[in-house]
Amino acid sequence: MRYEAKNGKTNNEISNGNGTEKYKYDQFAVDDDQNGGLDSEKSDTGVKMERSLGLISGTAIIAGTMIGSGIFVSPRGVLYGAGSVGMSMVIWLACGILSMFGALTYAELGSTIPLSGAEHAYFMEAFCQDKKRRNLFGRIPAFLFDWICIFIIRTTMFAGMCFTLGTYVTQPFYPDCAPPLYLTKLVTAIAMVILCFINCMSIKFAEKIQMFMMAVKLVAAVIIVAGGCYSLSQGDTETLASGFEGTSTDTAMLVLSFYNGLWAYDGWNNLNFVTEELKNPKKNIPRAICIALPLVMIVYLSINVGYFAVLPKQEILSSDAVAVLWGKRILGVMQWIMPMFVICSCFGSANGSLFSSGRLSYVAARDGHLPSGISFLHVQRHTPIPSMIFTLTLSTLLIIPFDLGALIGIFSFTSWIFYGVSAATVLLLRYRNRHKKLDSYKVPVFIPILVILLSTFLVLVPLIYLPKPEYKYVVLFMAVGLCIYFLFVYRKIKVPFVDSATRLMQKLLVVVPPSQEKKLLD
């Protein structure tokens, strides 16, 4: 491998055994941002993401990420906040409907702006009017989203899913007590590293894992539902018959119940993070959502009926591993298969989460909100290896100080701030493009309005009635993000050693800047 400087350019020559391939790119294009943001006018490597995802793959990414750790962990939190079996079922249904509304809102955004990065791309289009994206003050919404989402939301989601996996892996070895927390976190970290390696090596392999794990999850759901039906046929209806007895009247507790339910449903916007890798996104995003969301709602409601048909209310409230407890009661000597199904389910969900989360770091770096090296792609595999490693590092750091309950609270509170802003962006873009004929999908206007109102409620109620320290830390972290923005994006203060670190990373990982083929709306 050889690096030469010629007229301010760098020729990266990589031998492939048959000859030498050259990739020309500017030496980190440091004039466009604070520490090496890629300048789209100068960089042209020919290396880019490939459109390899179809409708089936897109549906698997959404449903495969949603059906995972949440349905095996959240039933306890939903029931605890709801207070009754009947109200918990209502909340599961309401969370599904709200998630469907949110997904349809994002379907319009994704088909109107077919760029990867979800909210990052939408905020850049909505608030950065100039085509070269040099409107620095207009970058603030997108930068704050990147700052919060990369360091809190997406990493928390990935860490939480892997944490659930670690819990279910270690629990069978400690049947009479909770496993040591350090051991659970160690297994969690190992799972994170394995998933990162898979996603760095092959997009196709990660896609196949997602589809296979999706099938495994549906098999697990069928087993739980069938076991519940068998139990009901034996007359075990006491838990379900309790109905709304004991329903909570505490608003804060009901919101906490919603948070746990929404955690289980989250992942409905994952396809929007990988839009540039999706074939025909204007049609396939709405179609994938309309297939995946109703499927997930049916699965979740059916699984909860299966739980309540077998387990008493108090046992569900006292168990961190509801599915394992269910297996012990109904499967007998085959009870070991349930932890295996849960582990596979969590593995698939975490795979989908990392797949999409790495793309956010990639596009944020590509637009100058992170060091440009994070946006580089492997010259042969075309995978965003630096962004994957970056996401892995942040997620691993999160599992050290927090437990699963804290991760769920932080994630749900923070994510719904930006879901509400994104719904408002739909209205803004629709007004701005009112004189244009766009062939994109359009959601009924009452849906984004409803998402705005509900997200405001879900954010304000915990701050007022249940002010946990984690929520205050999130607000403080946003304030710190503003300071970072004005120092390193607006003022363009360069961080020492970033350029040399980027060169070293290129040599170690064999990565180059991506080709710039993004087009803004006229």
Question: What confidence tens digit (pLDDT) does each residue in 400-441 have?
Answer: 776 656 666 666 677 888 889 999 999 988 888 887 777 778
Over residues 75-84, the mean pLDDT reads 86
What lies within 8 Å, CB to CB, of 412 at 6+ separation is: 259, 260, 262, 263, 266, 458
Helix pair 154-170, 337-366: axis angle to 10 deg? 160
Among 68-72, 306-310, 474-478, the range of highest mean pLDDT: 306-310
Instruction: Give backbone dihedrals phi and psi of 129, rounded to 5 degrees, phi first.
Output: -75, -35
Report whether 168 contacts 324 (CB < 8 A). yes
Q: Distances in Å between the alpha carbon of 247 and those of 16, 88, 305, 432? A: 66, 9, 18, 45
| Whole-number pLDDT of residue 490 | 78
Report whether 462 contacts 413 (CB < 8 A). yes
pLDDT-based confidence at residue 195 (cuts at 50, 70, 90):
very high
Q: Is the pLDDT of residue 138 over 80?
A: no
Q: Given CA atoms 131, 137, 143, 145 in this order, what sign does their dihedral have?
A: negative
Q: Is the pLDDT of residue 516 over 80?
A: no
- The residue written with tokens 């789209």 in the block is 40
Report whether 75 contacts 307 (CB < 8 A). yes
| Whole-number pLDDT of residue 47 | 60
Among 126-140, 427-441, 443-457, the range of highest mean pLDDT: 443-457
pLDDT-based confidence at residue 11 (cuts at 50, 70, 90):
very low
User: Using alpha carbons only, what angle is made at residue 148 by residues 357 and 413, rounded to the nearest 5 degrees?
Assistant: 100
Report whether 375 contacts 386 (CB < 8 A). yes
Tens digit of pLDDT for each residue in 90-128? 999 999 999 999 999 999 998 888 888 788 888 888 887
What lies within 8 Å, CB to CB, of 138 at 6+ separation is: 127, 128, 129
First to last CA, the chain: 41
Dihedral over alpha carbons 460, 465, 471, 475 (to 10 degrees) = 50
Domains of the chain: 55-512 (1.20.1740.10)
The count of other CB atoms within 10 Å of the CB of residue 283 is 15
Q: Is the pLDDT of residue 243 over 90?
A: no
Nearest CA among 296, 336, 371 for reference residue 100: 296
Q: Is the pLDDT of residue 269 over 60?
A: yes
- The residue written with tokens 């109102």 in the block is 453
| Whole-number pLDDT of residue 320 | 67
